[in-house]
């Protein structure tokens, strides 16, 4: 053999690069995982392993009305015949299909330990027993009627179904989850009745919208119940096939019968949340003091249902603690929806309407194939019955032919060759429209075929009785009607769809139940405000800019002249410059000496201890090096027809619409323009109908109505409010309703003296005047520190430059005339001076509840 010939005989090989080979092999592997393992089929909603488990159980006769079989027996059949993978993977599949907290409608009826919602593992497969659940039989229904295709198993020794007939949309009813290569599916379960009602609606009206679907199928229905927060998220994944559904536990409050303490009782938890880990997480949060107000947590769940009890401390607010639990634990979680399924051998993300349409299309195919199968078998049976009728009407002739034959084959040929008289009952079958029947009736004779002859030869003599003849005629008529019905189904699309609808209604009425998961409107993300009670707090600010907040309750009311209580520890060179009372949910408008405004929420201020210094304000807002906080105004909300009035040390007053301050930048905005040598002193909020009173350092005061000050923009200077002496400066600006007669002006001096004076003693003037004497200042009482409008019920918080704070009642401060020095309000040590005073407003104070402010209007200069 020549070399050329030997070369031609060598096998031809195709050379490919390593990159090309890796790409092809990886794609083949990926598609194998996607189609053959990880993703469900759009038609029956099952992955291959689930389908093989149910089919193996069906083949073993392990149905819902038969005795249980050992799980190991089923696992062995599955891995030996259809699923050549690990036995534990198959058993895990069986366990999940038997867990009522994993499946909305279980497909496996288990007997034994199949795990728990606490994450406990199931018992070994040799200990548990299973059988198909009754609903699972609806997935297998009609599988023996050529309704679905079969394919070879892994070794070509058996065949297995490529899909189950599935009388209901299992993919939506039970959902599915799985991770493939480069893609994942996560389909939530839904309520069976709602899904079937939606399918029926879509069959009857194909042009329905997603909004129509939402009315019949409002959203997922998880086996563990709980609550879905927000319908917009459901609409999103209905329309696109992707979305996020927020879930919250169902809870209620109870009072302990013996201790009288409040309790949070958790009745249902979100889907796929481990109860034991949830309780452990709550305990850890309490241990780490990340959640206050919980004294104990315990699991009281039993056969009647879930019950996790969270005991609250006596002073804890249940709603606040519950919001903290929602924020920091899996009591609130989310379910990421990806409606990814195998459609015609390809993975596809589907909107909800497409998923329903694919199921309807599949059921149309199944019912059509079943009808064709049943028609074929009905016609075959009808053919035999006609032969038997012919035999009964011609029995003597047939017996003679059979007896005259030497063997069975000769008898068969004799019957095939003979022409018999047509039975009289054939006339009743004319409405069947079968051609061979019409021909037999018209010719009054018929010839048997091989199938009919075999049935006659196999016929028993008992069929010759009159009763058996009647039964035979009844069966003929029954099969005739069945053939007519099946023919009409196959020829009429409307009748075909009616059959599908009737079967769906039967499943709905048999297996349907009430929804477990509630759906509420959007609860929104839980903000920090939701985790804090909207209670009154004292906000303290030092001269060096350290700020903190404390509950107002820690300061006990004292009589005037008391020594007070240490409210803050300051550095030797620092001192407390201002305090005010507000609520956790309020906003802080922070005005600086340069006329700039910064925006801060009260809850963002650190909640420090009573004697703690607090946190530097420069760490909370962005201040320039020469910028110092001069006034802080708490505002509950920004509304129309409200104004901010500012005052400067030189006596300039300005009024600006509140809405102009609602959106400041991080670096601050201009609140008012400040001239050289001047600085902003304070700010107040008004409703446009208030009287203003400005008080100076040397005890002068002027009262005028704010209508004298027209509103201007943020970047303006303002107008004169009071005409001061060269060495005097404004220290306070107050606003009040001129119609109220029970108010007094409290004036406080730096040496601890103060007094209240009737507002009527301050006559109204035009702005820009010199004013009148508000308090007589001297070396004994010192310069004026602050002035506040108060009434009899007010309580006051006074602070000194050394950090001492005292809480006194306004009614304990004497009411005296303007031209006096006042009485002692607080006893001071050497070198100690009063720094500020603020009014504590009670909840029923009319000024705190009426518009415009709903906030404490006091702020210290």
Q: Would you name the residues annotated as active-site residues?
A: 127
Distances (CA, A) of 461 to 105, 456, 497: 52, 10, 45
Query: Which residue blocks in 37-100 are alpha helix, DSSP H?
Result: 48-59, 71-77, 87-98
Helix and strand tally (H, E) in the chain?
Answer: 20, 44
Residue 204: count other Cβ atoms within 10 Å of its Cβ.
10
Residues forming beta bridges with residue 447, ordered by sequence position: 419
493-511 and 192-204 are packed helices; what angle lies between their axes, rounded to 10 degrees? 160
Three-state DSSP class for 464? helix
SS3 per residue for 608-657: CCCCCCCEEHHHCCCCCCCCCEEEEEEECCCCCCCEEEEEECCCEEEEEE
CA distance 175 to 103: 8
Q: How far apart are the first and last CA of the chain?
A: 114
CA distance 451 to 281: 74
SS3 content of the chain, % helix, strand, coil (to 5): 35, 25, 40
462 — phi, psi (to 5°)?
Answer: -65, -15
CA distance 785 to 79: 88
450-458 and 408-417 are packed helices; what angle lies between their axes, rounded to 10 degrees? 130
Strands 629-635 vs 643-648: parallel, antiparallel or unpaired: unpaired
Three-state DSSP class for 344? coil
Strands 719-720 vs 576-583: parallel, antiparallel or unpaired: unpaired
Q: Are 231 and 219 in contact (CB under 8 A)?
A: yes
Beta strands, E only, 350-466: 419-421, 445-447
827 — phi, psi (to 5°)?
Answer: -85, 125
CA distance 1 to 473: 81
Residue with tokens 């018209």: 442
Tokens encoding 831: 């070198």
Residue with tokens 């996790």: 308
Is the omega angle on the peptide bond into residue 852 within 30 degrees of 0, that is, cis?
yes
Half-sphere exposure of 31 (CA within 13 A, CB side): 7
> Any idea what the Cα angle at residue 768 is, between residues 764 and 773, rounded to 5°?
55
Beta strands, E only, 475-564: 518-520, 536-542, 546-551, 557-558
Q: Are 641 and 684 in contact (CB under 8 A)?
A: no
């Amino acid at each position: 053999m020549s070399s050329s010939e030997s070369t031609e005989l060598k096998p031809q090989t195709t050379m490919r690069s390593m990159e090309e080979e890796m790409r092809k092999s990886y794609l083949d592997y990926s598609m194998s995982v996607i189609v053959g393992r990880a993703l469900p089929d759009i038609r029956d909603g099952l992955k291959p392993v689930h389908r093989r488990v149910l089919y193996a159980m069906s083949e073993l006769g392990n149905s819902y009305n038969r005795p249980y079989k050992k799980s190991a027996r089923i696992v062995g059949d599955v891995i030996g015949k259809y699923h050549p993978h690990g036995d534990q993977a198959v058993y895990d599949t069986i366990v999940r299909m038997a867990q009522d907290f994993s499946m909305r409608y279980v497909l496996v009826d288990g007997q034994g330990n199949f795990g728990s919602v606490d994450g406990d593992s199931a018992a070994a497969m040799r200990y548990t027993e299973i059988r198909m659940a009754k609903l699972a039989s609806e997935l297998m229904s009609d599988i023996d009627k050529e309704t679905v295709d079969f394919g070879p198993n892994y070794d070509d020794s058996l065949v297995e179904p490529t899909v189950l007939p599935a009388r209901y949309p299992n993919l939506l009813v039970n959902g599915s989850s799985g991770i493939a290569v480069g893609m994942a599916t996560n389909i939530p379960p839904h309520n069976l009745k709602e899904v079937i009602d939606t399918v029926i609606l879509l069959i009857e009206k194909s042009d329905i919208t997603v909004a129509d679907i939402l009315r019949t199928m409002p959203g997922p229905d998880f086996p563990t119940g709980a609550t879905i927060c927000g319908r917009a998220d459901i609409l999103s994944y209905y329309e696109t096939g992707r979305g996020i559904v927020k879930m919250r536990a169902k809870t209620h409050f109870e009072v302990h019968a013996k201790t009288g303490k409040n309790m949070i009782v958790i009745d249902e938890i979100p889907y796929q949340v481990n109860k034991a880990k949830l309780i452990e997480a709550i305990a850890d949060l309490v241990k780490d003091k990340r959640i206050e107000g919980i004294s104990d947590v315990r699991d009281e769940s039993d056969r009647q249902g879930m019950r996790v009890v969270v005991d609250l401390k006596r002073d804890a607010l249940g709603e606040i603690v519950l919001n903290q639990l929602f924020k920091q634990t899996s009591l609130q979680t989310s379910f990421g929806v990806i409606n990814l399924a195998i459609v015609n051998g390809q993975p596809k993300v589907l909107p909800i309407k497409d998923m329903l349409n694919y199921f309807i299309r599949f059921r149309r195919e199944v019912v059509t194939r079943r009808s064709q199968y049943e028609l074929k078998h009905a016609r075959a049976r009808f053919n035999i019955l006609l032969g038997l009728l012919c035999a009964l009407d011609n029995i003597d002739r047939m017996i003679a032919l059979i007896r005259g034959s030497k063997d069975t084959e000769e008898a068969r040929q004799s019957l095939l060759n003979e022409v018999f008289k047509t039975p009289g009952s054939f006339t009743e079958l004319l409405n069947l429209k079968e051609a061979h029947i019409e021909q037999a009736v018209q010719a009054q004779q018929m010839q048997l075929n091989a199938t009919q002859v075999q049935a006659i030869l196999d016929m028993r003599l008992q069929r010759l009785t009159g009763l058996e003849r009647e039964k035979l005629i009844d069966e003929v008529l029954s099969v005739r009607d069945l053939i007519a019905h099946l023919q009409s189904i196959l020829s009429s699309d409307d009748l075909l769809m009616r059959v599908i609808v009737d079967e769906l209604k039967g499943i709905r009425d048999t297996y349907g139940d009430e929804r477990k998961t509630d759906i509420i409107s959007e609860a929104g993300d839980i903000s920090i405000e939701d985790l804090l009670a909207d209670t009154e707090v004292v906000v303290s600010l030092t001269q060096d800019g350290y700020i903190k907040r404390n509950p107002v309750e820690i300061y006990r009311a004292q009589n005037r002249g008391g020594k007070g209580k240490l409210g803050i520890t300051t550095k030797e060179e620092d001192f407390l410059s201002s305090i005010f009372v507000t609520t956790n949910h309020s906003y802080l408008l922070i005005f600086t000496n340069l006329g700039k405004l910064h925006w801060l929420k009260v809850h963002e201020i650190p909640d420090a201890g009573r004697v703690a210094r607090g946190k530097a304000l420069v760490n909370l807002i962005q201040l320039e090096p020469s910028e110092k906080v001069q006034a802080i105004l708490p505002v509950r909300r920004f509304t129309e027809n409200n104004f901010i009035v500012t005052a400067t040390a030189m006596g300039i007053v300005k009024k600006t619409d509140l809405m102009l301050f609602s959106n400041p930048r991080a670096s601050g905005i201009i609140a008012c323009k400040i001239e050289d040598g001047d600085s902003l002193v304070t700010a107040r909020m008004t409703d446009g109908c208030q009287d203003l009173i400005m008080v100076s350092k040397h005890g002068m005061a002027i009262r005028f109505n704010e209508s004298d000050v027209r509103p201007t923009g943020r970047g303006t200077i303002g107008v004169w409010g009071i005409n001061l002496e060269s060495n005097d400066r404004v220290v306070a600006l107050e606003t009040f309703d001129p119609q109220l007669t029970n108010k007094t002006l409290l004036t406080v001096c730096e040496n601890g003296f103060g007094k209240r004076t009737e507002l009527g003693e301050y006559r109204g003037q035009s702005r820009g005047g010199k004013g009148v004497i508000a308090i007589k200042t001297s070396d004994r009482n010192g310069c004026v520190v602050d002035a506040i409008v108060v009434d009899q019920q007010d309580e006051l918080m006074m602070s000194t430059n050394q950090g001492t704070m005292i809480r006194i009642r306004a009614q304990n401060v004497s009411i005296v005339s303007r031209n006096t020095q006042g009485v002692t309000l607080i006893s001071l040590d050497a070198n100690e001076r009063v720094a500020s005073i603020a009014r504590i407003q009670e909840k029923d104070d009319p000024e705190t509840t009426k518009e415009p402010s709903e906030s404490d209007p006091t702020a210290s200069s």
